[in-house]
Amino acid sequence: MFLRVAWLVMRKDLTIEVRSREILYTTVFFAVSCVLVFAFALVKEGRPLEDAAAGIMWISVAFAGTLALGRTFERERHSETLRALMLAPTSRPAIYVGKLLGIVLLLLIVEAVLVPLVGLLFHAPIGNRPLLLVALLLFGTIGFSAVGTLFAAMLVRARSRDVMLPILLYPITIPVIIAGVRGTAALFEPVPATDLAQMWMALLAFFDIVFVTLSLWTFEPLMTE
């Protein structure tokens, strides 16, 4: 039942997205322009700044993620559909999981465009340990979205939600950014430091477990008016 509700909520979001593609297109475009801005700032005489690739990748993911979260819930607010969802006689944590899955999937698609672009523009060896890189991105995205989905859902009712989301989200997700950037930077070394990347990945996985649990737990009281 729980998984079915989560699945249905995710499918609902994805169906809307597949029909309009609004969030996907705008987020991808935003992420690409983000990387380009960094490229103009940090590539000097055709040579990118050393060690910059990992940082730029994760900053772009975080920025694009904030945008996607804001847009996804703006859509829900516009037609009061979140309230309808909350009124549905299902477990609320399942709704949270559904929204989370939708956002993670969306961000993974964005990253599929973003990462090769960063590799291209900043000479980052993204093919060093592809599986480990994917795992880092996956865990990082889940961690970022877990906190982001909860806060964005709460902010639906709030005033000045566009400003509040980054204010709340960035301090809390600092460990994700640190672990993601350091882990990816370890992979981008000429000789990839696999054990270090694995350690960061473990930290990310642990962060995911704790924060998804905490969100599931607090979603119910937080969304009760």
Partner 1 sequence: MNKGYPVLALLAIALFSAAPVIVAQAPYEATMGLVQKIFYYHVPSAMVMFLSALICGVASSVYLFRARPGADRIAAAAAELTVVFGLIVLVTGPLWARKAWGVWWQWDARLTSTLLMWMIFVAYLLVRRFGGPGAEKLSAAMAVFGMANVPFVYVSVNIWRTIHPTTRVVPSLAPGMRGPFWFCVLSFMLLFGLLLAVRARLEQRRADLEHLYLLADEE
Partner 2 sequence: MQGTMTKKLMALIVAFWLVGASGVRLVASTQGQSPQTPPTGQAAGAEPQDQFVPVKSLPQQEQLPAAPLLLTAYGFVWVVLLVYVWTIWRRLMKVEREMQVLSARVAEKSGRG
Q: Which residues of the shown chain bind partner 2 in the complex (CB under 8 A)?
A: 51, 182, 185-186, 189, 193, 195-196, 199, 203, 206, 210, 214, 217
Please choose which of partner 2, partner 1, none residue 162 contacts, taking the beta carbon within 5 to 8 angstroms, the exact cut-off set by kind. none
* Binders in 155-184 for partner 1, by CB under 8 A: 155, 157-160, 163-164, 167-168, 171-172, 174-175, 178-179, 182
CA dist., res. 17 & res. 25, Å (int): 10
CB of 74 to partner 2, least distance (A): 31
DSSP category for residue 159: T
Q: Which does 171 bind (CB under 5 to 8 A by kind): partner 1, partner 2, none?
A: partner 1
Question: Of the candidates 124, 154, 185, 212, which one interacts with partner 1 according to CB under 8 A?
Answer: 154
Interface with partner 1, residue 136, by CB under 8 A? no
Task: Give the dihedral sign, CA 18/66/212/72.
Answer: negative
Indicate whether 80 belongs to the interface with partner 1 (CB under 8 A).
no
How do 43-44 and 47-48 pair as beta strands? antiparallel
Asked whether the CA dihedral 131, 210, 180, 138 is positive or negative, the reply is positive
| Residue 173: partners with Cβ closer than 8 Å, 6 or more residues away | 62, 143, 144, 147, 148
Partner touching 45 among partner 1, partner 2, none, CB below 5 to 8 Å by kind: none
Beta carbons within 8 Å of 78's beta carbon, 6+ residues apart = none
Nearer to partner 2, 7 or 206 (CB): 206
